[in-house]
Structure 1
Amino acid sequence: MKSDKNAPLKLSDYLTKEQGLELLKKMLLTRAFEENAEEQYALGKLHGTMHLSIGQEAIAAGVASATKKGDYLLNTHRGHGHFLQWGGDLNAMMAEFMGKANGICRGRGGSMHIADVSMNNLGAQGIVGGNMPISVGVGLSIQLRETDQVVVALFGDGAANEGAFHESLNLAALWKLPVIYLCENNRYAMSMAFDRAFTIEKISDRACAYNIPGHTFDGNDVLSVHAAVKEAARRARAGEGPTLLEAITYRWRGHSKSDRQAYRTRDEVKEWMEKDPIPRFASVLGVSAEELKALDQEARERIRAATEYADNSPEPDVNTIMEGVYA
Protein backbone atom coordinates (compact mmCIF):
# COMPACT_ATOMS: atom_id res chain seq x y z
CA MET A 1 0.00 0.00 0.00
CA LYS A 2 1.99 2.95 -1.25
CA SER A 3 1.09 6.56 -0.67
CA ASP A 4 2.65 10.02 -0.67
CA LYS A 5 3.39 10.60 2.99
CA ASN A 6 3.40 14.36 2.45
CA ALA A 7 0.01 14.54 0.75
CA PRO A 8 -2.99 14.81 3.11
CA LEU A 9 -5.87 12.49 2.27
CA LYS A 10 -9.02 14.07 0.88
CA LEU A 11 -12.27 13.49 2.74
CA SER A 12 -14.24 13.18 -0.50
CA ASP A 13 -12.11 10.22 -1.61
CA TYR A 14 -13.33 8.15 1.33
CA LEU A 15 -16.37 9.61 3.07
CA THR A 16 -19.18 12.08 2.56
CA LYS A 17 -19.26 15.05 4.90
CA GLU A 18 -22.34 13.54 6.58
CA GLN A 19 -20.46 10.30 7.22
CA GLY A 20 -17.54 12.29 8.55
CA LEU A 21 -19.79 14.19 10.94
CA GLU A 22 -21.17 10.93 12.30
CA LEU A 23 -17.63 9.73 12.93
CA LEU A 24 -16.79 12.97 14.70
CA LYS A 25 -19.85 12.55 16.93
CA LYS A 26 -18.77 9.01 17.82
CA MET A 27 -15.27 10.21 18.65
CA LEU A 28 -16.73 12.89 20.91
CA LEU A 29 -18.99 10.31 22.54
CA THR A 30 -16.01 8.06 23.22
CA ARG A 31 -14.03 10.92 24.75
CA ALA A 32 -16.99 11.97 26.89
CA PHE A 33 -17.58 8.37 27.99
CA GLU A 34 -14.03 7.90 29.18
CA GLU A 35 -13.75 11.26 30.91
CA ASN A 36 -16.99 10.43 32.69
CA ALA A 37 -15.54 7.03 33.57
CA GLU A 38 -12.73 8.78 35.41
CA GLU A 39 -15.30 10.72 37.42
CA GLN A 40 -17.30 7.59 38.24
CA TYR A 41 -14.11 5.80 39.27
CA ALA A 42 -13.22 8.65 41.64
CA LEU A 43 -16.68 8.29 43.17
CA GLY A 44 -16.06 4.61 43.84
CA LYS A 45 -18.82 3.45 41.50
CA LEU A 46 -16.66 1.21 39.31
CA HIS A 47 -15.25 -2.22 40.14
CA GLY A 48 -11.57 -2.83 39.52
CA THR A 49 -9.35 -0.72 37.30
CA MET A 50 -9.80 0.48 33.73
CA HIS A 51 -7.68 1.28 30.69
CA LEU A 52 -8.53 4.52 28.90
CA SER A 53 -7.97 5.30 25.22
CA ILE A 54 -8.27 9.09 25.51
CA GLY A 55 -6.22 10.50 22.63
CA GLN A 56 -6.65 7.37 20.48
CA GLU A 57 -10.26 7.87 19.32
CA ALA A 58 -9.39 8.15 15.62
CA ILE A 59 -8.45 4.48 15.38
CA ALA A 60 -11.82 3.18 16.53
CA ALA A 61 -13.54 5.61 14.15
CA GLY A 62 -11.44 4.55 11.18
CA VAL A 63 -11.88 0.84 11.86
CA ALA A 64 -15.65 1.02 12.27
CA SER A 65 -16.14 3.18 9.16
CA ALA A 66 -13.97 0.97 6.94
CA THR A 67 -15.61 -2.34 7.82
CA LYS A 68 -19.10 -3.69 7.24
CA LYS A 69 -21.96 -4.98 9.35
CA GLY A 70 -21.30 -8.66 9.94
CA ASP A 71 -17.53 -8.33 10.20
CA TYR A 72 -15.86 -9.49 13.41
CA LEU A 73 -14.00 -7.49 16.04
CA LEU A 74 -11.49 -8.88 18.53
CA ASN A 75 -10.93 -6.05 20.97
CA THR A 76 -8.29 -5.21 23.58
CA HIS A 77 -8.40 -4.23 27.25
CA ARG A 78 -8.28 -0.59 26.04
CA GLY A 79 -11.40 -1.01 23.96
CA HIS A 80 -14.23 1.27 25.16
CA GLY A 81 -14.08 3.34 21.98
CA HIS A 82 -14.07 0.31 19.71
CA PHE A 83 -17.14 -1.10 21.46
CA LEU A 84 -19.06 2.17 21.13
CA GLN A 85 -18.02 2.90 17.56
CA TRP A 86 -18.70 -0.67 16.46
CA GLY A 87 -22.32 0.10 17.34
CA GLY A 88 -22.50 -0.99 20.97
CA ASP A 89 -25.48 0.06 23.08
CA LEU A 90 -24.45 3.02 25.25
CA ASN A 91 -26.86 2.36 28.12
CA ALA A 92 -26.00 -1.33 28.30
CA MET A 93 -22.30 -0.51 28.18
CA MET A 94 -22.57 2.03 30.99
CA ALA A 95 -24.53 -0.47 33.09
CA GLU A 96 -21.87 -3.09 32.39
CA PHE A 97 -19.19 -0.63 33.39
CA MET A 98 -20.86 -0.29 36.77
CA GLY A 99 -21.38 -4.03 37.17
CA LYS A 100 -25.17 -3.91 36.84
CA ALA A 101 -27.44 -6.83 35.96
CA ASN A 102 -28.70 -5.24 32.73
CA GLY A 103 -25.20 -4.56 31.45
CA ILE A 104 -24.28 -6.01 28.08
CA CYS A 105 -22.57 -8.93 29.87
CA ARG A 106 -24.91 -8.89 32.90
CA GLY A 107 -22.26 -7.09 34.94
CA ARG A 108 -19.68 -9.86 34.57
CA GLY A 109 -17.39 -8.21 32.02
CA GLY A 110 -16.90 -4.77 33.49
CA SER A 111 -14.60 -2.31 31.74
CA MET A 112 -12.13 -4.76 30.29
CA HIS A 113 -14.20 -7.66 28.97
CA ILE A 114 -17.21 -6.05 27.28
CA ALA A 115 -18.45 -8.13 24.35
CA ASP A 116 -21.58 -8.30 22.21
CA VAL A 117 -21.69 -11.50 20.19
CA SER A 118 -24.91 -10.35 18.48
CA MET A 119 -22.79 -7.70 16.74
CA ASN A 120 -19.81 -10.03 16.18
CA ASN A 121 -17.89 -8.06 18.79
CA LEU A 122 -16.08 -10.93 20.47
CA GLY A 123 -14.59 -8.84 23.25
CA ALA A 124 -11.16 -8.85 24.86
CA GLN A 125 -9.15 -11.53 26.60
CA GLY A 126 -7.30 -11.45 29.91
CA ILE A 127 -3.99 -12.36 28.24
CA VAL A 128 -2.00 -9.80 26.23
CA GLY A 129 -2.15 -10.93 22.60
CA GLY A 130 -4.69 -13.61 23.50
CA ASN A 131 -7.01 -12.54 20.71
CA MET A 132 -4.49 -13.32 17.98
CA PRO A 133 -4.84 -17.12 17.95
CA ILE A 134 -8.61 -16.62 18.18
CA SER A 135 -8.44 -14.45 15.06
CA VAL A 136 -7.02 -17.41 13.16
CA GLY A 137 -9.99 -19.52 14.20
CA VAL A 138 -12.48 -16.82 13.27
CA GLY A 139 -10.73 -16.29 9.95
CA LEU A 140 -10.79 -20.01 9.23
CA SER A 141 -14.50 -20.11 10.04
CA ILE A 142 -15.14 -17.31 7.55
CA GLN A 143 -13.10 -19.10 4.92
CA LEU A 144 -14.88 -22.43 5.43
CA ARG A 145 -18.30 -20.77 5.34
CA GLU A 146 -17.29 -18.90 2.17
CA THR A 147 -18.64 -15.54 3.33
CA ASP A 148 -17.10 -12.15 2.55
CA GLN A 149 -16.59 -11.22 6.20
CA VAL A 150 -13.31 -10.09 7.74
CA VAL A 151 -12.05 -10.11 11.31
CA VAL A 152 -10.15 -7.19 12.83
CA ALA A 153 -7.73 -8.22 15.57
CA LEU A 154 -6.58 -5.26 17.65
CA PHE A 155 -3.48 -5.28 19.82
CA GLY A 156 -0.88 -2.97 21.32
CA ASP A 157 2.84 -2.69 20.71
CA GLY A 158 3.52 -4.86 23.76
CA ALA A 159 1.52 -7.73 22.29
CA ALA A 160 3.66 -7.62 19.15
CA ASN A 161 6.45 -9.22 21.17
CA GLU A 162 4.31 -12.14 22.29
CA GLY A 163 4.90 -15.50 20.65
CA ALA A 164 1.23 -15.69 19.69
CA PHE A 165 1.75 -12.69 17.40
CA HIS A 166 4.22 -14.57 15.20
CA GLU A 167 2.41 -17.89 15.33
CA SER A 168 -0.90 -16.31 14.36
CA LEU A 169 0.44 -14.17 11.52
CA ASN A 170 2.35 -17.12 10.13
CA LEU A 171 -0.69 -19.41 10.02
CA ALA A 172 -3.07 -16.69 8.81
CA ALA A 173 -0.66 -15.88 5.99
CA LEU A 174 -0.12 -19.55 5.12
CA TRP A 175 -3.86 -20.16 4.82
CA LYS A 176 -4.64 -16.69 3.38
CA LEU A 177 -7.21 -15.99 6.07
CA PRO A 178 -9.31 -12.78 6.01
CA VAL A 179 -7.72 -11.20 9.09
CA ILE A 180 -6.70 -7.58 9.61
CA TYR A 181 -4.04 -7.32 12.30
CA LEU A 182 -4.07 -3.76 13.62
CA CYS A 183 -1.45 -2.66 16.14
CA GLU A 184 -2.41 0.43 18.14
CA ASN A 185 1.15 1.54 18.82
CA ASN A 186 0.81 4.10 21.62
CA ARG A 187 4.57 3.92 22.27
CA TYR A 188 4.39 2.25 25.68
CA ALA A 189 3.68 -1.31 26.79
CA MET A 190 2.66 -0.36 30.30
CA SER A 191 5.90 1.48 31.22
CA MET A 192 8.14 -0.09 28.56
CA ALA A 193 9.05 2.46 25.88
CA PHE A 194 8.93 1.24 22.29
CA ASP A 195 12.64 1.80 21.61
CA ARG A 196 13.57 -0.28 24.65
CA ALA A 197 11.64 -3.30 23.39
CA PHE A 198 12.16 -3.28 19.61
CA THR A 199 15.16 -3.24 17.29
CA ILE A 200 12.99 -2.14 14.37
CA GLU A 201 11.49 1.27 13.68
CA LYS A 202 8.11 -0.05 12.54
CA ILE A 203 6.19 -3.10 13.71
CA SER A 204 4.70 -3.35 10.23
CA ASP A 205 8.18 -4.24 8.92
CA ARG A 206 7.63 -7.68 10.42
CA ALA A 207 5.02 -8.37 7.74
CA CYS A 208 7.73 -9.28 5.24
CA ALA A 209 8.58 -12.33 7.34
CA TYR A 210 5.17 -13.74 6.44
CA ASN A 211 5.04 -12.41 2.88
CA ILE A 212 2.04 -10.18 3.60
CA PRO A 213 1.59 -6.41 3.24
CA GLY A 214 2.55 -4.18 6.16
CA HIS A 215 1.67 -0.52 6.54
CA THR A 216 2.38 2.09 9.21
CA PHE A 217 0.34 5.28 9.35
CA ASP A 218 -0.78 8.18 11.52
CA GLY A 219 -3.22 6.73 14.03
CA ASN A 220 -4.44 10.19 15.02
CA ASP A 221 -5.73 10.85 11.50
CA VAL A 222 -9.15 9.28 10.92
CA LEU A 223 -8.78 9.23 7.15
CA SER A 224 -5.40 7.48 7.30
CA VAL A 225 -6.87 4.79 9.54
CA HIS A 226 -9.96 4.45 7.34
CA ALA A 227 -7.93 4.18 4.13
CA ALA A 228 -5.54 1.57 5.54
CA VAL A 229 -8.29 -0.62 7.00
CA LYS A 230 -10.41 -0.27 3.86
CA GLU A 231 -7.59 -1.56 1.67
CA ALA A 232 -6.79 -4.38 4.08
CA ALA A 233 -10.47 -5.37 4.12
CA ARG A 234 -10.58 -5.32 0.31
CA ARG A 235 -7.64 -7.72 0.16
CA ALA A 236 -9.16 -9.99 2.79
CA ARG A 237 -12.54 -10.16 1.06
CA ALA A 238 -10.82 -10.95 -2.23
CA GLY A 239 -9.11 -13.98 -0.71
CA GLU A 240 -5.66 -12.35 -0.70
CA GLY A 241 -5.03 -13.01 2.99
CA PRO A 242 -4.10 -10.94 6.04
CA THR A 243 -2.51 -7.51 6.39
CA LEU A 244 -0.43 -6.13 9.25
CA LEU A 245 -1.31 -2.52 10.06
CA GLU A 246 0.34 -0.21 12.58
CA ALA A 247 -1.37 2.96 13.79
CA ILE A 248 0.99 5.39 15.54
CA THR A 249 -0.84 7.06 18.40
CA TYR A 250 -0.49 7.98 22.08
CA ARG A 251 -2.50 7.45 25.22
CA TRP A 252 -2.93 10.60 27.27
CA ARG A 253 -3.60 8.72 30.48
CA GLY A 254 -1.60 6.05 32.25
CA HIS A 255 -1.73 2.38 31.40
CA SER A 256 -4.40 1.97 34.07
CA LYS A 257 -5.63 3.92 37.07
CA SER A 258 -2.72 2.64 39.19
CA ASP A 259 -0.09 3.99 36.78
CA ARG A 260 1.91 6.95 38.14
CA GLN A 261 3.52 7.53 34.72
CA ALA A 262 7.03 8.07 36.06
CA TYR A 263 8.44 6.72 32.79
CA ARG A 264 7.47 9.74 30.67
CA THR A 265 7.62 13.52 30.94
CA ARG A 266 4.81 16.03 31.07
CA ASP A 267 6.30 17.76 28.05
CA GLU A 268 6.00 14.55 26.05
CA VAL A 269 2.35 14.15 27.01
CA LYS A 270 1.66 17.80 26.19
CA GLU A 271 3.28 17.42 22.78
CA TRP A 272 0.96 14.55 21.91
CA MET A 273 -2.11 16.26 23.34
CA GLU A 274 -1.52 18.99 20.77
CA LYS A 275 -2.08 16.27 18.14
CA ASP A 276 -5.62 15.67 19.44
CA PRO A 277 -7.46 13.69 16.72
CA ILE A 278 -10.84 15.28 17.46
CA PRO A 279 -10.24 18.96 16.60
CA ARG A 280 -7.95 17.76 13.84
CA PHE A 281 -10.77 15.87 12.13
CA ALA A 282 -13.22 18.68 12.89
CA SER A 283 -10.94 20.98 10.91
CA VAL A 284 -10.98 18.58 7.96
CA LEU A 285 -14.79 18.65 8.07
CA GLY A 286 -14.90 22.44 8.29
CA VAL A 287 -16.56 22.32 11.72
CA SER A 288 -16.06 25.56 13.64
CA ALA A 289 -14.99 25.74 17.29
CA GLU A 290 -18.52 26.78 18.25
CA GLU A 291 -20.07 23.88 16.33
CA LEU A 292 -17.59 21.45 17.86
CA LYS A 293 -18.44 22.69 21.34
CA ALA A 294 -22.15 22.15 20.66
CA LEU A 295 -21.51 18.61 19.40
CA ASP A 296 -19.41 17.91 22.48
CA GLN A 297 -22.22 19.10 24.74
CA GLU A 298 -24.63 16.76 22.93
CA ALA A 299 -22.27 13.85 23.54
CA ARG A 300 -21.92 14.70 27.22
CA GLU A 301 -25.68 14.91 27.63
CA ARG A 302 -25.97 11.39 26.20
CA ILE A 303 -23.34 10.22 28.67
CA ARG A 304 -25.17 11.93 31.54
CA ALA A 305 -28.40 10.13 30.60
CA ALA A 306 -26.59 6.79 30.28
CA THR A 307 -24.97 7.29 33.68
CA GLU A 308 -28.38 7.94 35.22
CA TYR A 309 -29.69 4.79 33.55
CA ALA A 310 -26.82 2.76 35.01
CA ASP A 311 -27.20 4.32 38.46
CA ASN A 312 -30.84 3.24 38.51
CA SER A 313 -30.14 -0.26 37.21
CA PRO A 314 -30.29 -3.31 39.53
CA GLU A 315 -27.29 -5.09 40.98
CA PRO A 316 -26.82 -8.73 39.90
CA ASP A 317 -28.67 -11.27 42.05
CA VAL A 318 -26.17 -13.32 44.03
CA ASN A 319 -28.17 -16.45 43.16
CA THR A 320 -27.11 -16.03 39.50
CA ILE A 321 -23.41 -16.20 40.32
CA MET A 322 -22.94 -19.59 38.61
CA GLU A 323 -24.87 -18.70 35.46
CA GLY A 324 -22.66 -18.54 32.40
CA VAL A 325 -19.93 -20.63 34.02
CA TYR A 326 -19.03 -23.58 31.81
CA ALA A 327 -15.73 -24.89 33.20
Structure 2
Amino acid sequence: MSRMQAGLLPDGRRLHLHDGPIDLIIGADGEAEAVARAYDAAERRFATVLDELCGELPLLRRESDREPSGIVARRMWAATLPFAAEVFITPMAAVAGSVAEEVLAAMCAAAPLDRAFVNNGGDIAIHLASGMTYDIGLVSRPDQPALFATAQLLAEDPVRGIATSGWRGRSFSLGIADAVTVLAARASLADAAATLIANAVDLPGHPAVTRVAARDIQPDNDLGARPVTRGVGSLQPNEIAAALAAGVAFAERLMAEGHIVAAALHLAGETRMVGQGLGRGDAGRQGEEVSRIGGGNPS
Protein backbone atom coordinates (compact mmCIF):
# COMPACT_ATOMS: atom_id res chain seq x y z
CA MET A 1 0.00 0.00 0.00
CA SER A 2 1.34 3.42 -0.96
CA ARG A 3 2.23 5.88 1.82
CA MET A 4 1.29 8.83 -0.33
CA GLN A 5 -2.09 10.49 0.08
CA ALA A 6 -3.61 12.59 -2.70
CA GLY A 7 -6.93 14.35 -3.14
CA LEU A 8 -8.63 17.62 -3.89
CA LEU A 9 -9.26 20.00 -1.02
CA PRO A 10 -12.87 20.93 -0.14
CA ASP A 11 -12.75 23.90 -2.53
CA GLY A 12 -12.54 21.40 -5.40
CA ARG A 13 -9.73 23.39 -7.02
CA ARG A 14 -6.53 22.76 -5.10
CA LEU A 15 -4.69 19.46 -4.85
CA HIS A 16 -3.31 18.13 -1.57
CA LEU A 17 -0.38 15.70 -1.64
CA HIS A 18 1.10 14.17 1.49
CA ASP A 19 3.92 11.70 2.06
CA GLY A 20 5.75 11.38 5.38
CA PRO A 21 7.05 14.82 6.39
CA ILE A 22 6.17 16.42 3.02
CA ASP A 23 2.81 18.16 2.67
CA LEU A 24 1.98 20.06 -0.51
CA ILE A 25 -0.90 22.33 -1.45
CA ILE A 26 -1.04 22.79 -5.22
CA GLY A 27 -3.12 25.10 -7.38
CA ALA A 28 -3.33 25.74 -11.11
CA ASP A 29 -5.31 27.94 -13.49
CA GLY A 30 -5.91 27.17 -17.15
CA GLU A 31 -8.05 24.97 -19.37
CA ALA A 32 -9.76 22.28 -17.30
CA GLU A 33 -8.08 19.48 -19.26
CA ALA A 34 -4.67 21.11 -18.85
CA VAL A 35 -5.16 21.49 -15.10
CA ALA A 36 -6.19 17.83 -14.83
CA ARG A 37 -3.05 16.74 -16.71
CA ALA A 38 -0.89 18.96 -14.54
CA TYR A 39 -2.36 17.54 -11.34
CA ASP A 40 -1.83 14.01 -12.60
CA ALA A 41 1.80 14.84 -13.39
CA ALA A 42 2.26 16.38 -9.92
CA GLU A 43 0.92 13.26 -8.26
CA ARG A 44 3.10 10.93 -10.34
CA ARG A 45 6.25 12.94 -9.73
CA PHE A 46 5.58 13.40 -6.04
CA ALA A 47 5.10 9.66 -5.51
CA THR A 48 8.84 9.01 -5.83
CA VAL A 49 10.33 12.15 -4.24
CA LEU A 50 10.61 11.02 -0.62
CA ASP A 51 12.26 7.69 -1.45
CA GLU A 52 14.72 9.46 -3.74
CA LEU A 53 15.70 11.88 -0.98
CA CYS A 54 15.97 9.18 1.67
CA GLY A 55 18.38 7.28 -0.56
CA GLU A 56 20.87 10.16 -0.34
CA LEU A 57 20.20 11.54 3.15
CA PRO A 58 23.71 10.91 4.54
CA LEU A 59 25.18 13.05 1.76
CA LEU A 60 22.46 15.73 1.95
CA ARG A 61 22.93 16.16 5.69
CA ARG A 62 26.55 17.22 5.50
CA GLU A 63 28.64 19.93 3.89
CA SER A 64 30.02 18.52 0.67
CA ASP A 65 31.24 19.62 -2.75
CA ARG A 66 30.09 16.28 -4.15
CA GLU A 67 27.03 16.61 -6.37
CA PRO A 68 24.17 14.23 -5.48
CA SER A 69 22.59 12.01 -8.11
CA GLY A 70 18.85 12.60 -7.62
CA ILE A 71 17.09 15.43 -9.44
CA VAL A 72 15.61 17.03 -6.31
CA ALA A 73 18.85 16.45 -4.39
CA ARG A 74 20.77 18.25 -7.14
CA ARG A 75 18.39 21.19 -6.88
CA MET A 76 19.09 21.33 -3.13
CA TRP A 77 22.85 21.10 -3.63
CA ALA A 78 22.91 23.76 -6.37
CA ALA A 79 20.84 26.19 -4.27
CA THR A 80 23.18 25.98 -1.28
CA LEU A 81 26.50 25.70 -3.13
CA PRO A 82 26.94 29.50 -3.64
CA PHE A 83 27.05 29.97 0.15
CA ALA A 84 28.96 26.87 1.22
CA ALA A 85 32.45 28.38 1.07
CA GLU A 86 31.60 31.08 3.62
CA VAL A 87 28.96 29.75 6.04
CA PHE A 88 27.79 26.42 7.34
CA ILE A 89 25.00 25.13 5.16
CA THR A 90 23.95 21.71 3.91
CA PRO A 91 21.64 20.86 1.01
CA MET A 92 18.89 20.21 3.58
CA ALA A 93 18.50 23.98 3.91
CA ALA A 94 16.80 23.96 0.50
CA VAL A 95 14.79 20.74 0.67
CA ALA A 96 11.27 22.19 0.92
CA GLY A 97 11.79 24.74 -1.84
CA SER A 98 13.47 22.16 -4.07
CA VAL A 99 10.59 19.69 -3.71
CA ALA A 100 8.09 22.44 -4.57
CA GLU A 101 10.20 23.49 -7.54
CA GLU A 102 10.48 19.94 -8.88
CA VAL A 103 6.76 19.19 -8.64
CA LEU A 104 5.91 22.50 -10.32
CA ALA A 105 8.37 21.71 -13.13
CA ALA A 106 6.59 18.39 -13.73
CA MET A 107 3.23 20.17 -13.90
CA CYS A 108 4.41 22.81 -16.37
CA ALA A 109 6.04 20.16 -18.57
CA ALA A 110 2.78 18.20 -18.70
CA ALA A 111 0.39 20.97 -19.74
CA PRO A 112 0.17 24.68 -20.61
CA LEU A 113 -0.98 26.61 -17.54
CA ASP A 114 -1.84 30.26 -16.94
CA ARG A 115 -0.76 30.20 -13.30
CA ALA A 116 0.32 27.53 -10.86
CA PHE A 117 1.86 27.19 -7.44
CA VAL A 118 3.22 24.43 -5.23
CA ASN A 119 3.22 25.36 -1.54
CA ASN A 120 5.41 23.15 0.64
CA GLY A 121 4.75 24.35 4.18
CA GLY A 122 5.18 27.99 3.22
CA ASP A 123 7.97 27.54 0.68
CA ILE A 124 6.28 28.24 -2.62
CA ALA A 125 7.25 27.66 -6.25
CA ILE A 126 5.24 29.76 -8.71
CA HIS A 127 4.50 29.69 -12.45
CA LEU A 128 3.09 32.76 -14.19
CA ALA A 129 2.32 32.92 -17.89
CA SER A 130 2.56 36.26 -19.70
CA GLY A 131 0.15 38.84 -18.32
CA MET A 132 -0.64 36.87 -15.16
CA THR A 133 -0.25 38.05 -11.55
CA TYR A 134 -0.32 36.37 -8.15
CA ASP A 135 -0.98 37.78 -4.68
CA ILE A 136 1.03 36.29 -1.84
CA GLY A 137 -0.13 36.80 1.74
CA LEU A 138 2.64 37.38 4.28
CA VAL A 139 2.52 36.64 8.02
CA SER A 140 5.12 37.66 10.58
CA ARG A 141 4.78 34.61 12.84
CA PRO A 142 2.78 31.36 12.75
CA ASP A 143 0.97 31.82 16.03
CA GLN A 144 -0.42 35.17 14.87
CA PRO A 145 -1.63 34.34 11.35
CA ALA A 146 -3.09 37.73 10.38
CA LEU A 147 -1.53 39.12 7.21
CA PHE A 148 0.78 42.08 7.64
CA ALA A 149 1.11 42.67 3.88
CA THR A 150 0.68 41.12 0.48
CA ALA A 151 3.16 40.83 -2.35
CA GLN A 152 1.71 40.97 -5.83
CA LEU A 153 3.93 39.11 -8.27
CA LEU A 154 3.80 40.07 -11.93
CA ALA A 155 4.74 37.81 -14.82
CA GLU A 156 7.60 40.13 -15.70
CA ASP A 157 9.02 40.06 -12.17
CA PRO A 158 12.15 37.93 -11.66
CA VAL A 159 10.48 36.08 -8.78
CA ARG A 160 9.31 32.49 -8.99
CA GLY A 161 10.04 31.36 -5.45
CA ILE A 162 9.13 32.42 -1.92
CA ALA A 163 10.33 30.92 1.36
CA THR A 164 10.06 31.69 5.05
CA SER A 165 12.37 30.62 7.87
CA GLY A 166 12.75 31.41 11.56
CA TRP A 167 13.10 29.90 15.03
CA ARG A 168 9.32 29.68 15.56
CA GLY A 169 8.93 27.27 12.65
CA ARG A 170 8.89 23.50 12.58
CA SER A 171 12.59 23.36 11.71
CA PHE A 172 15.70 24.53 13.51
CA SER A 173 17.27 27.97 13.28
CA LEU A 174 20.58 29.29 14.57
CA GLY A 175 19.17 32.82 14.85
CA ILE A 176 16.37 34.56 16.71
CA ALA A 177 14.20 35.90 13.88
CA ASP A 178 10.50 35.20 14.31
CA ALA A 179 10.34 34.99 10.53
CA VAL A 180 12.32 35.90 7.44
CA THR A 181 10.49 35.78 4.13
CA VAL A 182 12.53 35.85 0.92
CA LEU A 183 11.60 36.37 -2.73
CA ALA A 184 14.00 34.87 -5.27
CA ALA A 185 14.14 33.54 -8.80
CA ARG A 186 13.63 29.95 -7.60
CA ALA A 187 11.97 28.38 -4.59
CA SER A 188 15.10 26.36 -3.78
CA LEU A 189 17.26 29.49 -3.69
CA ALA A 190 14.66 31.39 -1.64
CA ASP A 191 14.63 28.51 0.85
CA ALA A 192 18.40 28.48 1.30
CA ALA A 193 18.62 32.28 1.53
CA ALA A 194 15.77 32.53 4.07
CA THR A 195 17.59 30.01 6.25
CA LEU A 196 20.81 31.99 6.20
CA ILE A 197 19.23 35.39 6.73
CA ALA A 198 17.20 34.03 9.66
CA ASN A 199 20.45 32.66 11.13
CA ALA A 200 22.04 36.11 10.76
CA VAL A 201 19.32 37.83 12.82
CA ASP A 202 20.98 37.09 16.13
CA LEU A 203 22.38 38.27 19.44
CA PRO A 204 25.16 35.76 20.17
CA GLY A 205 25.47 34.92 23.84
CA HIS A 206 22.43 36.94 24.93
CA PRO A 207 21.04 35.61 28.24
CA ALA A 208 17.42 35.93 27.08
CA VAL A 209 17.98 33.45 24.25
CA THR A 210 17.65 29.76 25.04
CA ARG A 211 19.67 27.42 22.84
CA VAL A 212 20.01 23.64 22.77
CA ALA A 213 22.30 21.40 20.74
CA ALA A 214 20.33 20.28 17.70
CA ARG A 215 21.33 16.64 18.16
CA ASP A 216 19.80 16.64 21.66
CA ILE A 217 16.41 17.36 20.08
CA GLN A 218 16.71 15.38 16.88
CA PRO A 219 19.73 13.06 16.77
CA ASP A 220 19.72 12.53 13.00
CA ASN A 221 19.51 16.17 11.88
CA ASP A 222 22.17 17.94 9.82
CA LEU A 223 23.19 20.45 12.51
CA GLY A 224 24.81 18.09 15.00
CA ALA A 225 26.05 19.87 18.12
CA ARG A 226 25.31 23.36 16.82
CA PRO A 227 23.07 25.29 19.26
CA VAL A 228 19.61 26.01 17.86
CA THR A 229 17.21 28.58 19.26
CA ARG A 230 14.40 27.24 21.44
CA GLY A 231 13.20 30.43 23.12
CA VAL A 232 13.65 34.20 22.98
CA GLY A 233 12.82 36.26 26.05
CA SER A 234 12.33 39.99 26.45
CA LEU A 235 14.68 42.15 24.40
CA GLN A 236 15.40 45.86 24.62
CA PRO A 237 14.57 48.04 21.58
CA ASN A 238 18.26 48.60 20.84
CA GLU A 239 18.89 44.85 20.98
CA ILE A 240 16.04 44.12 18.57
CA ALA A 241 17.40 46.80 16.25
CA ALA A 242 20.91 45.35 16.40
CA ALA A 243 19.78 41.81 15.63
CA LEU A 244 17.64 42.97 12.71
CA ALA A 245 20.48 45.16 11.42
CA ALA A 246 22.75 42.12 11.25
CA GLY A 247 20.13 40.25 9.23
CA VAL A 248 19.51 43.23 6.96
CA ALA A 249 23.23 43.58 6.22
CA PHE A 250 23.41 39.93 5.20
CA ALA A 251 20.22 40.15 3.14
CA GLU A 252 21.47 43.26 1.35
CA ARG A 253 24.64 41.44 0.45
CA LEU A 254 22.72 38.49 -0.95
CA MET A 255 20.61 40.89 -2.98
CA ALA A 256 23.68 42.72 -4.30
CA GLU A 257 25.15 39.36 -5.36
CA GLY A 258 21.95 38.50 -7.23
CA HIS A 259 20.81 35.65 -5.00
CA ILE A 260 17.55 37.24 -3.82
CA VAL A 261 15.12 39.92 -4.97
CA ALA A 262 13.64 41.00 -1.64
CA ALA A 263 13.28 40.00 2.01
CA ALA A 264 11.16 40.85 5.04
CA LEU A 265 12.69 40.29 8.49
CA HIS A 266 10.60 40.10 11.67
CA LEU A 267 11.63 40.11 15.31
CA ALA A 268 9.60 40.98 18.42
CA GLY A 269 7.01 42.98 16.51
CA GLU A 270 9.56 44.90 14.44
CA THR A 271 9.93 44.48 10.66
CA ARG A 272 12.66 45.43 8.22
CA MET A 273 12.26 45.28 4.44
CA VAL A 274 15.06 44.74 1.94
CA GLY A 275 14.63 45.21 -1.80
CA GLN A 276 11.49 45.61 -3.88
CA GLY A 277 8.39 43.44 -4.25
CA LEU A 278 7.38 42.75 -0.65
CA GLY A 279 4.43 44.66 0.68
CA ARG A 280 3.03 45.78 -2.68
CA GLY A 281 -0.72 45.72 -2.32
CA ASP A 282 -3.32 45.93 0.42
CA ALA A 283 -2.39 44.39 3.77
CA GLY A 284 -6.06 43.81 4.51
CA ARG A 285 -6.62 41.69 1.40
CA GLN A 286 -6.44 37.92 1.63
CA GLY A 287 -3.48 36.59 -0.31
CA GLU A 288 -3.98 33.69 -2.70
CA GLU A 289 -1.22 31.80 -0.94
CA VAL A 290 0.37 32.49 2.41
CA SER A 291 4.08 32.19 3.09
CA ARG A 292 4.26 31.01 6.66
CA ILE A 293 7.08 29.85 8.86
CA GLY A 294 7.74 26.15 8.63
CA GLY A 295 8.81 25.40 5.10
CA GLY A 296 12.29 23.96 4.93
CA ASN A 297 14.98 22.58 7.17
CA PRO A 298 17.15 25.46 8.29
CA SER A 299 20.82 24.80 8.75
TM-score by length of 1: 0.26
Q: Comparing both structures, which one devotes a greater share of its residues to strand?
A: 2
TM-score by length of 2: 0.27
**Larger RCO: Structure 1 or Structure 2 (Cα < 8 Å, ≥ 6 residues apart)?**
1
